[in-house]
C-alpha cells in the first residue's frame, strides 16, 4: 500500500477562506491526500488567497518565491494558487511564477481533483470560471472525523453591492444563496461530529435568500430552522450589510435563545458624503437608527464594526463624523484599516488622501476603538456568562473558551472538557481576554 500524499494549505483572509480551505482539503482527501503542517513535507502546496488587503497579489508572489528552492529539490511537488487573487490574476500568476502548476478561483475548487490529475500529467491548469453547478454539492462528503466544538458554515457567497473600494463582486461573483435543506444537512453532520456552535458565513450573509420548502427563506427563517437541530447550542453569523438587516432578523436577536448576542455590522464611515462616494447606500443616521432598533430587541448585544479611513476625498471634517458615530455607537470590538487602492474599482481613480494624514487618522480611530473595547470588557467583570470551552489553557487545570459575547475567557481550576458549556462569573479583564470562575 502506497504512502498517502501530503497536502499543505496556507489560508489568507476571512473566515470564508478558512471554510473553503477545509473543503479543498476534503476534495483532495478523496484523492489520497492528508494534510501536513509543513510545506517541506508536502507533495502539493495550495495558497488560498485573499484580495482585500493592500498589495495582496504581490504578497502572494513573494510567498511563491520562497518555494523555488523546494521545487528544485522536489520536481514532483505541485504548487497551486486558489481564492480571490487567483480569480483576479488568472493566467498572469503562471506567467510571473512558472513554478505554479494550477490556478483555481473560489467558485471552482470542487474541480480540484480533476485539476490535480492533469497537473500530475505535466499540464498547467487554470480554472477561474463561475460554473453553473453547486460546488458544495459536487464535493465529496465530509469525512466523519471528530470536530472541535465550533465550525464555520458558508450559506451565501458573492456580492451585488459594488462598494467603490471592493473587489469582491469581481472575484466572488453575484450573490448566491445555498438551499436551506443542504445547509441543514451539513449542520446536522457537524453536530454529529461534535460541533456545538456554528457561524453562518457570507459576503453579505443577511442577504441570504436560499430555497426552502415554501419559497425562498430569509436568514432569520434559516436560523429558526437551525434552532431545531438537537445538540446545536449556539448560532452566529457574519458578515452583514446594514441595508439587509430585516425586521425578522432583528426580532430573532431578541427571541432566539441560540442566536448569540453579538453582531458584526460594518458601517465603514460616519460621513454621508464619504458613504455616498463608497456606494454604501445607507447614511450615518440610518445606521444609528438601525443600531437603536437592534438594541431595543436585544439590549445586551455586543456590536462590532468595520471602518476605512483615508478614503479618497475624505476631509478632516469627514473623519470627525466617523469619530462622532463611533462615540455614539460604542463598539465592543471593531476592525479598522487605511484605504488602499484596488485596480479596477471606481475609488482607485479618485484623488487620494495624503498617506501621512491617513496614518494619523487611523491611529486616532484605533485609539478610540481600543478604549471602547476595553470599557466593554471591563464592564463584564462581576457578570455571569456562558462559556463554550475550546481548548486547554497554558497552565494546569486552566481551560479557555468563548463567552456568549465572543470574548475569550480563561477559567482556572476548571474540571470541564473541550466542548462543554458552563456558567462562569467574570473576575477580571485583561488586554484581550477575561478571566473567570465556574459557578455551576
Binding site members = 14, 50, 84, 159, 163, 166
Report the C-alpha gap between 274 and 96 in whole angstroms: 37
Closest among 29, 120, 31 to 77, alpha carbons compared: 120
Summarize the annotated binding site for [4Fe-4S] cluster as residue ranges. 14, 50, 84, 159, 163, 166
203 with 158: CB under 8 angstroms?
yes
266 with 239: CB under 8 angstroms?
yes
Closest among 308, 297, 360 to 335, alpha carbons compared: 308
129 with 173: CB under 8 angstroms?
no
Strands (DSSP E) along 73-160, which ranges? Answer: 78-83, 102-104, 125-127, 150-154, 156-157
- Cβ neighbors of 46 (< 8 A, separation 6 or more) are 7, 8, 9, 10, 21, 24, 79, 80, 81, 82
Report the C-alpha gap between 256 and 273 in whole angstroms: 37
Strands (DSSP E) along 321-432, which ranges? Answer: 333-338, 384-392, 399-403, 408-411, 421-429
Helix (H, G, I), strand (E, B) or coil at 357: helix
- Cβ neighbors of 401 (< 8 A, separation 6 or more) are 387, 388, 389, 390, 391, 408, 409, 411
Residue 17 φ/ψ region, left for φ over 0, alpha for ψ in the -120 to 50 degree band, beta for the rest: alpha
Which class for 213: exposed (0-12), middle (13-18), buried (19 or more C-beta within 10 A)?
exposed
> Rounded to a whole number, what is the distance in angstroms from the first to the last CA of the chain?
51
Please confirm whether the linkage preceding 239 is cis (ω < 30° from 0).
yes
Report the C-alpha gap between 220 and 216 in whole angstroms: 12
Sheet with 333-338: list strands edge to edge. 262-264, 302-309, 333-338
Residue 326 Cα to chain centre, angstroms: 23
Amino acid at each position: 500500500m502506497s504512502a498517502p500524499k501530503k497536502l499543505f494549505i496556507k489560508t489568507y483572509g476571512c473566515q470564508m477562506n478558512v471554510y473553503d480551505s477545509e473543503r479543498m482539503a476534503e476534495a483532495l482527501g478523496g484523492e489520497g491526500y492528508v494534510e501536513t503542517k509543513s510545506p517541506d513535507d508536502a507533495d502539493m502546496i495550495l495558497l488560498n488567497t485573499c484580495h482585500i488587503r493592500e498589495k495582496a497579489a504581490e504578497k502572494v508572489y513573494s510567498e511563491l518565491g520562497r518555494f523555488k528552492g523546494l521545487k528544485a529539490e522536489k520536481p514532483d511537488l505541485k504548487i497551486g494558487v486558489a481564492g480571490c487573487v487567483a480569480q483576479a490574476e488568472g493566467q498572469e500568476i503562471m506567467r510571473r511564477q512558472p513554478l505554479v502548476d494550477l490556478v483555481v478561483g473560489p467558485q471552482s475548487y470542487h474541480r480540484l481533483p480533476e485539476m490535480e490529475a492533469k497537473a500530475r500529467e505535466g499540464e498547467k491548469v487554470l480554472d477561474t470560471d463561475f460554473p453553473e453547478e453547486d460546488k458544495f454539492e459536487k464535493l465529496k462528503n465530509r469525512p466523519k472525523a471528530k470536530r472541535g466544538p465550533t465550525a464555520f458554515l458558508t450559506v451565501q457567497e458573492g456580492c451585488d453591492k459594488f462598494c467603490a473600494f471592493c473587489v469582491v463582486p469581481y472575484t466572488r461573483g453575484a450573490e448566491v444563496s445555498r438551499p436551506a435543506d443542504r445547509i441543514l444537512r451539513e449542520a446536522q453532520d457537524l453536530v454529529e461530529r461534535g460541533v456545538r456552535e456554528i457561524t453562518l458565513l457570507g459576503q453579505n450573509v443577511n442577504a441570504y435568500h436560499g430555497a426552502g420548502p415554501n419559497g425562498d427563506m430569509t436568514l432569520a427563517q434559516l436560523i429558526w430552522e437551525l434552532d431545531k437541530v438537537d445538540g446545536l447550542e449556539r448560532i452566529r453569523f457574519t458578515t452583514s450589510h446594514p441595508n439587509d438587516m430585516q425586521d425578522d432578523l432583528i426580532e430573532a436577536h431578541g427571541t432566539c435563545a441560540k442566536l448569540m448576542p453579538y453582531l458584526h455590522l460594518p458601517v465603514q464611515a460616519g460621513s454621508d458624503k464619504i458613504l455616498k462616494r463608497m456606494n454604501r447606500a445607507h447614511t450615518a443616521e440610518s445606521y444609528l437608527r438601525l443600531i437603536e432598533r437592534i438594541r431595543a430587541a436585544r439590549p445586551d448585544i455586543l456590536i462590532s464594526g468595520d471602518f476605512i479611513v483615508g478614503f479618497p476625498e475624505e476631509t478632516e471634517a469627514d473623519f470627525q463624523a466617523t469619530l462622532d458615530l463611533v462615540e455614539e455607537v460604542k463598539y465592543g470590538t471593531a476592525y479598522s484599516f487605511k484605504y488602499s487602492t484596488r485596480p479596477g474599482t471606481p475609488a482607485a481613480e479618485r484623488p487620494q488622501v495624503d498617506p501621512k494624514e491617513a496614518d494619523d487618522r487611523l491611529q486616532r480611530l484605533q485609539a478610540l476603538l481600543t478604549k471602547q473595547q476595553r470599557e466593554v470588557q471591563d464592564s463584564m467583570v462581576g457578570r455571569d456568562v456562558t462559556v463554550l470551552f475550546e481548548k486547554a489553557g497554558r497552565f494546569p487545570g486552566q481551560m479557555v473558551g468563548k463567552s456568549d459575547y465572543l470574548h475569550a475567557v480563561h477559567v482556572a481550576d476548571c474540571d470541564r472538557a473541550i466542548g462543554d458549556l458552563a456558567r462562569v462569573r467574570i473576575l477580571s479583564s485583561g488586554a484581550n481576554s477575561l478571566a473567570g470562575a465556574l459557578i455551576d
